[in-house]
Structure 1
């Protein structure tokens, strides 16, 4: 498949190299959104990680790029680019919100990161099968768009149409997902959500424990489905803690 890069990085003030020794935080946005929102995370996380964003086609700097035919095609392309850009063994933490969390999980199966953080995202078995992806019905897509915040009501008709089209394409991509049971991840999973989220329940977040052989930690933040993205002052210090703990070299084993 042709098109631009799947990974976006951004120059930092003072000319700090994008590729350095700090752990990488790979960020995946929700359906219908681009990854440039994560650029603002660079400065508060500067002591902990370099921030990379995953950009699906059809948005922001990839507006004209074609969408992949299937979910697996997208994940494989992202994983290939990460492998090409990241040295073997370099500490990697994956963060994904909502639909981005599902992509993040499948990337974790391919890349073996140090940790996986998902927010507002049902565990993979809840995405499998007809009707469990993002609903393609226009009424539901409008509700999903409006759930993005009060700014949605201020969109002009043309912009709203474009955003709905982007959501519709992501919905089609999600419908091609089929969870393939296999070995559980051997990393800690952090499942975060909003206390007033009507889309993903606390019980569903607890279901992420089934995806790993290690600990799964649930954390709740005040707000709805996008609570995690809307509370950077709350979540970024916790994310920095996750990155530092996950990237710490393992203690030597003494016989």
Structure 2
């Protein structure tokens, strides 16, 4: 793939399997999803969307706007989908918002979001991260990180990346337009105090197809920290995507 999408080998025949595009939360890279390849071996191939300023794209400049990032990722996906490859899109937190806008441009078979406000509820989200160190400390806490155990340089790098993504999110303006026509699955941890049940329920408005809410226990990043239940769900969606329409 190109610079915006990473792929990892998972075994023979992977090119004929549906693809799973994974979009990480703010301040993170996509390498964390490489571990998912073993769980989805023989079911789907894992793709990771990689924004600049992290991991293998450390020295590259950030996109100027949210839409610029979405268009760049969608441009690399269009040939894949045009070639007949089925696609499931998954995004966590900020990655869920990216995933939604990508799904509007490159029609997947399903969209899965976790710990993510519905697009109409997103306006202004991330402003506290840009302006307030207290909000940053809260974010470290929800990620299960104690800033006091991070050395100064590591914390500074993490803060810089989080703030860059937060600035990018502030350039997002929701434009409803035509709803999606694919199923949307929204995941939330019951202990997440940054995304309310109402924020999650708002996803029902973005699609004319099925909408489902899924719950786990824990905080904002619980779905990623203990992904087994999510991976089982994604495997089912990938298996369904592999079945030609009208033959199930």
For the aligned pair, the TM-score class normalised by the smaller chain equals: over 0.9
Task: Provide the residue aligned with 1:9 in structure 2.
Answer: 7
- Once the two structures are superposed, residues 124-168 of structure 1 have per-residue CA deviations (whole angstroms, 9 ceiling, x without a partner) of 00113xx23453123212321332113654221100000000000
Pairwise CA distance, 1:205: 1.2
Counterpart CA distance in 2 for 1:107 and 1:186 is 14
Task: Provide the residue aligned with 2:139 in structure 1.
Answer: 144
DSSP 3-state at the match of 1:191:
strand
Pairwise CA distance, 1:84: 3.6
Task: Provide the residue aligned with 2:119 in structure 1.
Answer: 124
Task: Provide the residue aligned with 1:57 in structure 2.
Answer: 52
Task: Provide the residue aligned with 2:228 in structure 1.
Answer: 233
DSSP 3-state at the match of 2:215:
strand
Name the CA shift for 1:48/1:30 in 2 (closer, same or farther; >3 Å).
same
Pairwise CA distance, 1:61: 0.6
Kept after mapping to 2: 8 A contact 1:29/1:96: yes
Counterpart CA distance in 2 for 1:194 and 1:24 is 26
DSSP 3-state at the match of 2:39:
coil
The alignment covers a number of residue pairs equal to 244
Structure 2: gaps (5+ residues):
none
- Once the two structures are superposed, residues 87-143 of structure 1 have per-residue CA deviations (whole angstroms, 9 ceiling, x without a partner) of 433100000000000000000000000000000000000113xx2345312321232
Specify which of 203, 206, 221 is matched with residue 216 of structure 2: 221
Kept after mapping to 2: 8 A contact 1:146/1:153: no
Structure 1: gaps (5+ residues):
none
Task: Provide the residue aligned with 1:164 in structure 2.
Answer: 159
Q: Which deviates the most, 241-250 or 54-63?
A: 241-250
- Once the two structures are superposed, residues 50-98 of structure 1 have per-residue CA deviations (whole angstroms, 9 ceiling, x without a partner) of 0000001000111001000000000000100112445433100000000
Pairwise CA distance, 1:44: 0.6
Return structure 1 stretches of 4+ with deviation > 6 angstroms: none
For normalisation by structure 2, the TM-score amounts to: 0.93
DSSP 3-state at the match of 2:28:
coil
Task: Provide the residue aligned with 2:172 in structure 1.
Answer: 177
For normalisation by structure 1, the TM-score amounts to: 0.90
RMSD: 1.7
